[in-house]
Structure 1
């Protein structure tokens, strides 16, 4: 079954690459056989450069394939409009899109990985150029590896969706925000449950000004914990929606007493 799925995926990627007319692409320092397909799917004819200022920090091994921690850092790049995270070996390669707006161009999250894959952060600047950084993530087993023995969202047995968020003071009048969206389920049977999927998360200040926007993708871990750096210490309003039509809202005020994690 896995061989069949891999074959269909490769055929689909080849068709996309052909349609995009990708004949000459920049050399991939990660030496991924799927790099040309990633270019065709995500960048088309846009200029692409590998840039050391874009850092992807991952563990050497994915101890929990369903929740591998990732940190994206962008240093020295101005006018960042979008960060797209891509996992080459995932059937749904788009991990997330992050639009920093007024926030810092950095983000932490966790995602599901079943096999070794290049994980890339593509940072688009205002001139339309994609700046790429990446790293290999070593998963446990191959594409048909058994799921983690750790029950996903085992601490979440509630059926009501909610946003969990907390914020801490940082230097230079900034704050670090950690948030997760816990979506509802139709059944408590872990083997058969149906779960909503988060489609968008927005963070605004008390004046309604957009600070950041997130568009999660399929490879993200269930109830992924996001870490954002916001360049103000105002209270924040967080909103999210899922594919079941549910909407979530919460407010969070900065915690000035505890040290930010």
Structure 2
């Protein structure tokens, strides 16, 4: 068996076309979806992430604003900017790029962002909405993965989904979104006993731990759908995921590559959320 590739790059491009059309429709209502991003300091990885978001946001026609603050900024100064953007009616989505410098409490920052503009979905309010089955803003990576699964018509209801990793950014919200679509969900982590016995039962396996080659073809159920969220550098400096792709591709029915799988879909999940919030603004105006 050779797995079908879940091509996040292709799906992201198709999604961008849909978003562009929606933005044009919104402009007929005198509304341009707005995304404000706050970047603190000069972390190279953060700068790359922000640049990628900006490129795609501007491509689909969003009103994108970047606020680049010095690494020495105080927490009060950052919170003051967040409060100002909370009150700006032209800003539909607001996010603060992580990580933040030591003098700033990330939890305070996340919960200062108005829940309705918190497109990262990190605030306590949105976490509660996620697990309560309510409408809310949810983290971009899990949201993008769900869109990818839908695009490839992967059955979810009734399937056994195993999520390896319990981070607040990927693992936990991924499990919640799968549960919302009636999967039977198991969360595995560093204290899980006999991990392989679980992974071999999974119809859908999501691996998000940041450990290259953790899962091989021998660890999965034949015909499983495998989603690799890992982003690691091997000894040769090549970007690889958390699975051994060649062996997994011989056993799985579908698998995401690294790069080109989940990565592009993370930004898709973010942009989809901003566009959806702008659509709700139209509905409220009507």
Same fold (TM over 0.5): no
Instruction: Identify the structure with bigger relative contact order (alpha carbons < 8 Å, sequence gap 6+).
Output: 2
Greater share of helix residues, 1 or 2?
2
Q: TM-score, normalised by structure 2?
A: 0.22
